[in-house]
Amino acid sequence: MLIEQDGPGWRDKLPEIPIVPLAVQQEHRQKPVSAEVAEARAARAAQEEARRKEARFTLLKGEGNDLVKRGCFQEALQKYSDCLTLKPEECALYTNRAICFLKLSRFQEAKQDCDSALQLEPSNKKAFYRRALAHKGLQDYLSASSDLQEVLQLDPNVQEAEQELEAVTRLLRRSLMENGDNKTPRGKSSRPHT
């Protein structure tokens, strides 16, 4: 349109573009942002960080689950531990890690993870069941029996718990017989002191 009006010399008729010194440009860029803009930026950054954290958590948990299916319990244990640094309030991570500890015969650690899971979810059947297995591994048959009874109280249809309770009851009886009738499996007298 300018070519039609002023011909080929249209550029000559434009006013000069003022040159803004670099210091002024930088000063303009460094002006403080408003509180609203700062809050919006912080909120977006927090949302992005939460998305990244959730994606990493999901990836690690999935990798841990796959490793358990393949029988790679030590590697799965590390994945679940990494997940716990991201979401320490996630109950399933403790029960998942407990199964790894059980498979590695690290019964005390399995028990501790089940205790943590039960603090988060006091009616978690998996936590009670796996803690019972940890107690069994620690030869604390009375506690194992108690946890298995809790599982069956929560869900009477858990056949594994029924079978395990029968096995633990046999072990408890054998332990009582070996330690004498007046002793509990842990060597403490079951009779009151006189």
> What DSSP string runs through 26-80?
HHHHTSPPPHHHHHHHHHHHHHHHHHHHHHHHHHHHHHHHHHHHTT-HHHHHHHH
How many C-beta atoms lie closer than 10 Å to residue 121's C-beta? 14
Distance CA 130, CA 161 (A): 10
DSSP 14: S
Q: Which CATH number is 107-180 given?
A: 1.25.40.10
The reported pLDDT for the residue numbered 137 is 98
| Res. 38 pLDDT band, cuts 50 70 90 | confident
Q: CB–CB of 3/10 below 8 Å?
A: yes
| Res. 26 pLDDT band, cuts 50 70 90 | low
Q: What is the overall mean pLDDT for the chain?
A: 87
Average pLDDT over residues 170-192: 66
Length of the chain: 194
For residue 55, what are its two tokens? Answer: 């994606």
Run of H or E residues at 144:
helix 141-154
More confident residue, 189 or 127: 127
More confident residue, 19 or 115: 115
Distance CA 76, CA 56 (A): 15
Distance CA 112, CA 126 (A): 14
Return the domain boundaries, the chain.
44-88, 107-180
